[in-house]
Structure 1
Amino acid sequence: MLYTALIFGLLSSFHCIGMCGPIAMMLPVDQRNPAKKVSQIFTYHLGRITGYASIGLVFGLLGKGFFMAGMQQRLSIVIGVLMIIVIVIPEKTFAKYNFSKPVFRLISKLKQILGSQFKKKSYQSLFTIGLLNGFLPCGMVYVALFGAIAMQNSSLGVLYMVLFGLGTVPLMSSVLYLKSFLSLGVRNRIQKAIPYVVVLIGVLFILRGLGLGIPYVSPSTMSLFVQANPNCH
């Protein structure tokens, strides 16, 4: 299921262009030195992916807890259902409930630190901008984290989020070179396709949990099953 992270990251980058694109376009990179500019952009992405990986570690450990408890099959189904629910329910509905209120001050502080880093032009500041960018609230990241939990392993949780981040790199980098390489109409059409892809990924997770005996999609004997009474010889 790791491949879903890369695919979802690639498609999510069209959403990222609208949400995080302004941050990328404001990066204090050297426009007169192409080679240095590439290394600076790489540093920004490294920080961003490090942020995703850190969150993936936490959620991967959470998934491992379910794995050890023998709940992995049901967890995969629940994760798939949650992915679909998050996409199907209108964003305005979630907006009525301020889930971020308890951590509003923390997010506000992150934004203040993020703003101060744009005044600097060091590699450290670029890495910090990317790192903080990775921790900013984002619906697409939330959905990817569902996948990280379903990996039921801390290392795979990290890898899932790293692949998600890598999937966003091509388009997010292109923004810095071709700021209008895609028309608004094209971006809107692609963004409309994202919910269908998320639902498809959600269905894959549900099938994975059902264990229907479909090779690669829903194997009947999955390595993530834990036997309550293992036979030891």
Structure 2
Amino acid sequence: MLWSALIFGLLGSFHCVGMCGPIAFMLPVDRKNPVKRFFQLSSYHAGRILTYSVIGLIFGVVGKSLNLFGFQQNLSIAIGVLMIAVILIPSRFLSKYSISKPIYKLVGKVKSNMGAALKKKDPATFFTIGYLNGLLPCGLVYMAVFGALASGDALQGGLYMAIFGLGTIPLMTTAIYLGNFLKGTIKQRIVKAIPVFVVIIGVLFILRGMGLGIPYISPSENVRIEKIAAQHACH
């Protein structure tokens, strides 16, 4: 299911341009020196990906703990149902239970630190801004976190979120160079397509947890046991 992380990243980047675009536009990149600008942007993206990877690592550990208790398949189904529910339940109901509300103070501190980093303009500025940027609440990041949780492994969870971060790079980099270039009907169509893809991936997570014996999509429990046994044999 690692490919779903890349899809979340590519789709999430369209959302990121709207939500985190102002941060990207304010990055003090060197517009005259292409080589220096490349390393500055690489540092910024590296900071974001590091944050995502650490988050994925943490939730991968949680998923592994649940896996040890035999909840892995049920967890995959629950996450798939949750993804679909988030899309189908009217936003006015979800707004009452926004998971970002309890961390408003933390978000305020993150933004304050980002503002301070923007003023410094030293070599560590871009990495610091990227690292802090990765901590800001984002709906698509939450979806990717669900995927990391369902991975049931710390390294897989970290890799899942790292791939998600890599998927955001092309569009975020383009936004930094060209500004808000997505306008009109194209942007509206992309925004409308995002919920559809989230539902599709949610269905795939449900199928994965059901263990229907469909290769690559819904492997049976016997196949899972064989893979785990093979991994232990290698060690």
Does TM-score exceed 0.5, indicating one fold? yes
5 Å-filtered alignment, 1:34-113, equals 34-113=34-113
Identity %: 57
Deviations 1:39-98 (A, max 9, x none): 101100000111111111111111001111111111110011111111222333222235
Moved more, 183-192 or 49-58: 183-192
Moved more, 183-192 or 51-60: 183-192
| Partner residue, 1:223 | 224
The answer to whether the Cα contact below 8 Å between 1:75 and 1:209 also exists between their aligned partners in 2 is yes
| Partner residue, 2:209 | 209
How far, CA to CA, are the matches of 1:181 and 1:112 in structure 2?
Answer: 27
Q: Secondary structure at the match of 2:124?
A: helix
Q: Which amino acid aligns with 2:192?
A: K
1:199 equivalent in alignment to 2:189 = no
The Cα of 1:180 is off from its aligned counterpart by 4.3
CA change 1:224–1:127 in 2 (3 A) is farther
The answer to whether the Cα contact below 8 Å between 1:72 and 1:224 also exists between their aligned partners in 2 is no
1:11 equivalent in alignment to 2:11 = yes
Q: Which amino acid aligns with 2:174?
A: S
The Cα of 1:16 is off from its aligned counterpart by 0.8
| Partner residue, 1:146 | 146
The answer to whether the Cα contact below 8 Å between 2:21 and 2:180 also exists between their aligned partners in 1 is no
| Partner residue, 1:231 | none
How far, CA to CA, are the matches of 2:136 and 2:226 in structure 1?
Answer: 34
After TM superposition, which residue ranges in structure 1, 4 or more long, deviate above 4 angstroms? 224-227
The Cα of 1:125 is off from its aligned counterpart by 1.3
How far, CA to CA, are the matches of 1:14 and 1:98 in structure 2?
Answer: 21
Q: Which amino acid aligns with 1:195?
A: P
The answer to whether the Cα contact below 8 Å between 1:6 and 1:163 also exists between their aligned partners in 2 is yes
CA change 1:206–1:130 in 2 (3 A) is same
Moved more, 174-183 or 211-220: 174-183
The answer to whether the Cα contact below 8 Å between 1:75 and 1:150 also exists between their aligned partners in 2 is yes
Q: Secondary structure at the match of 1:38?
A: helix
The Cα of 1:20 is off from its aligned counterpart by 0.7
Structure with the higher helix share, 1 or 2? 2
1:123 equivalent in alignment to 2:98 = no
How far, CA to CA, are the matches of 1:116 and 1:222 in structure 2?
Answer: 52
How far, CA to CA, are the matches of 1:188 and 1:140 in structure 2?
Answer: 17
Q: Which consecutive unaligned segments of at least 5 residues does structure 2 have?
A: 229-235
The answer to whether the Cα contact below 8 Å between 1:29 and 1:121 also exists between their aligned partners in 2 is no
The answer to whether the Cα contact below 8 Å between 2:207 and 2:218 also exists between their aligned partners in 1 is yes
The answer to whether the Cα contact below 8 Å between 1:70 and 1:226 also exists between their aligned partners in 2 is no
TM-score, structure 2 normalization: 0.91
Q: Which consecutive unaligned segments of at least 5 residues does structure 1 have?
A: 228-233
Deviations 1:129-185 (A, max 9, x none): 111110011111001100000000000000000000100000000011222433232
TM-score, structure 1 normalization: 0.92
